[in-house]
Amino acid sequence: MNDISVSKEVIRRLPRYYRYLEELKGEGVTRISSRELSDRMRVTDSQIRQDLNCFGGFGRTGYGYNVEELYEEIGKILGLDRIKHIILIGAGHLGQALANYTNYRRRGFCIEAIFDRDPEKIGMKVYGIEVQDIAGLEAYLSTHEADIATITIPKEEARIVAKRLVSCGIKAIWNFAHTDLELPEDVVVENVHLSESLMSLSYKAKEQRKKREESGQ
Amino acid sequence: MNDISVSKEVIRRLPRYYRYLEELKGEGVTRISSRELSDRMRVTDSQIRQDLNCFGGFGRTGYGYNVEELYEEIGKILGLDRIKHIILIGAGHLGQALANYTNYRRRGFCIEAIFDRDPEKIGMKVYGIEVQDIAGLEAYLSTHEADIATITIPKEEARIVAKRLVSCGIKAIWNFAHTDLELPEDVVVENVHLSESLMSLSYKAKEQRKKREESGQ
């Protein structure tokens, strides 16, 4: 199918569909109606049908959706059906947490290398992978394939390392540093701004508290 | 000011404004024009002015915005001007990474306690806080204030613990478990679905690669 026909909003929702379909597969469910999926995902029945209609031919009246087919198709669209080599920058707690990400292999993500500048971490094994000196980054990337670099280091260093990565040909970055990386347009960046997430929560909690106080709870 | 007059879309953008204003303060910048902020944040000048106009009176023609005033006002809206007591559920790598979150204190977030069920972690000190047995969660919450619970444990356990937290009166959860928690409407949840973030990156990287291949790079 032609991805161009699938709108950005639908694409943004695809990972969540994938996650739910994976759970259904794990439970041995082979088919599901839009209504059941709607109840499960807390999304309207009509949105489910509209979104999944973009992939044409998966919904059958009276049958619903074939879980495996939909799962595979969405997986292909998301690029999960191919191997993606990941390198991790930063072997601190966050880097180590991400190195052990259990969903990776099933979705084609392979952690190939971990880099740090701290002598205490260099040489340490993290889930079987030995932490390398980040001074060797360019040398490593000149002889190894890497699709995605995950950045978990402080922001000042993150900006510098991001430029080094891009110079070596890295085209996709998963960024946990508390900053926006300013990189060429052909480099895709997925930011995980934990500070912004927590600030959003603070706002929502504050609004809920106001509601409770106003209703005299 | 009345928060109701500020739309959801603007609210969603506030944490990012706050982060940039904090950087500007750190650099000693006292005032900034919408144009300069626009260049810095890579957002249109008109969006900046529209968004910040919601807070009325901060923009002055020919002067721009006072960084400190705007920072304080946005901080208040986001609830960052009060203390928020946080408890962490899970003392693994991710939990430990979040326990050391350097921006916390400045924004009023205080980690008060960390819980785990692993005997090897119970009693361990994480940034000065001793990990407690999660069996004591209810007892702790009956004698201590907690505004936010951060969940960093696997999904099956996360659902159970979330219910325990809600039973003890927790009204706000920062959820890193790979699942949607099904909780009462008055409990606010901020999900950080790392798996979905990575799948989004995989999609974007795939699309960029297609573009490169089509343009013969």
Stretch B110-137: mean pLDDT, rounded? 96
Stretch A178-190: mean pLDDT, rounded? 94
Quick check: B15 contacting A, CB < 8 Å? yes
**pLDDT confidence bin for A113, thresholds 50/70/90:** very high
Average model confidence (pLDDT) for chain B?
91
In this prediction, residue A5 carries a pLDDT of 56
Contact A94 B92 (CB under 8 A): no
Give the minimum alpha-carbon distance from A31 to chain B in angstroms, rounded to a whole number: 21
In this prediction, residue A53 carries a pLDDT of 83
Task: Mark which residues 112-141 of A lie under 8 Å from B by CB.
Answer: none
**pLDDT confidence bin for B81, thresholds 50/70/90:** very high
In this prediction, residue A94 carries a pLDDT of 94
Quick check: B110 contacting A, CB < 8 Å? no
Contact B203 A18 (CB under 8 A): no
In this prediction, residue B90 carries a pLDDT of 97
Interface test with A, best of B159, B166, B202 (most A CBs within 10 A): B202
Stretch A96-111: mean pLDDT, rounded? 85
Task: Mark which residues 22-41 of B lie under 8 Å from A by CB.
Answer: 41
**Nearest-CB residue to A192 (from B79, B93, B197):** B197
Residue B123 has pLDDT above 50, yes or no: yes
Contact A78 B174 (CB under 8 A): no
Chain B residues lying within 8 Å of A96, measured CB to CB = 93
**Nearest-CB residue to A195 (from B103, B188, B201):** B103
DSSP code per residue over B79-119: TTTS-EEEEEE--SHHHHHHHT-TTTGGGTEEEEEEEES-T
In this prediction, residue B54 carries a pLDDT of 80
DSSP code per residue over chain A: --GGGS-HHHHHHHHHHHHHHHHHHHTT--EE-HHHHHHHHTS-HHHHHHHHHTT-S-EETTTEEEHHHHHHHHHHHTTTTS-EEEEEE--SHHHHHHHT-TTTGGGTEEEEEEEES-TTTTT-EETTEEEEEGGGHHHHHHHS--SEEEE-S-HHHHHHHHHHHHHTT--EEEE-SSS-----TTSEEEE--HHHHHHHHHHHHHHHHHHHHHTT-
Chain A residue closest in CA terms to B154: A102
Give the minimum alpha-carbon distance from B61 to chain A in angstroms, rounded to a whole number: 29
Q: Show me where the domains of chain A are located.
A: 3-77, 84-195
pTM: 0.91
**pLDDT confidence bin for A104, thresholds 50/70/90:** confident
In this prediction, residue A1 carries a pLDDT of 42
**pLDDT confidence bin for A2, thresholds 50/70/90:** very low
Least confident of A19-23, A182-186, A187-191, A213-217: A213-217
> Does the fold of domain B84-195 match that of domain B3-77?
no
Over residues B82-118, the pLDDT tens digits come to 999 999 999 999 999 999 876 788 889 999 999 999 9
Nearest to A71 by CA among A17, A1, A12: A17
Residue A114 has pLDDT above 60, yes or no: yes
Contact A202 B79 (CB under 8 A): yes
- At how many degrees (to 10) do helices A67-77 and A8-26 cross? 140
Task: Mark which residues 141-200 of A lie under 8 Å from B by CB.
Answer: 147-148, 171-172, 174, 178, 180, 182, 186, 188, 190, 192-200
Q: How far apart are CA B10 and CA B48, in angstroms?
A: 10
Over residues B38-64, the pLDDT tens digits come to 999 999 999 998 888 887 656 777 788
Nearest to B152 by CA among B177, B119, B174, B180: B177
Class of domain B84-195: alpha beta
Q: Residue B126: what are its φ and ψ, rounded to 5°?
A: -120, 105
Over residues A123-179, the pLDDT tens digits come to 999 999 999 999 999 999 999 999 999 999 999 899 999 999 999 999 999 999 989
Contact A109 B198 (CB under 8 A): yes
Contact A18 B100 (CB under 8 A): no
ipTM: 0.91
Chain B residues lying within 8 Å of A19, measured CB to CB = 178, 193, 195-196
B66 C-beta neighbours (distance < 10 Å), count: 16
The CATH label, of 2.40.110.10, 3.40.190.10, 3.30.379.10, 1.10.10.10, for the domain at A3-77 is: 1.10.10.10
Stretch A81-106: mean pLDDT, rounded? 90
Those residues with Cβ within 8 angstroms of residue B125's Cβ, 6 or more apart along the chain or in another chain = B131
Chain A residues lying within 8 Å of B2, measured CB to CB = none
DSSP code per residue over A28-74: T--EE-HHHHHHHHTS-HHHHHHHHHTT-S-EETTTEEEHHHHHHHH
| More confident: B67 or B6 | B67
Q: How far apart are CA A6 and CA A52, in angstroms?
A: 10
Residue B1 has pLDDT above 60, yes or no: no
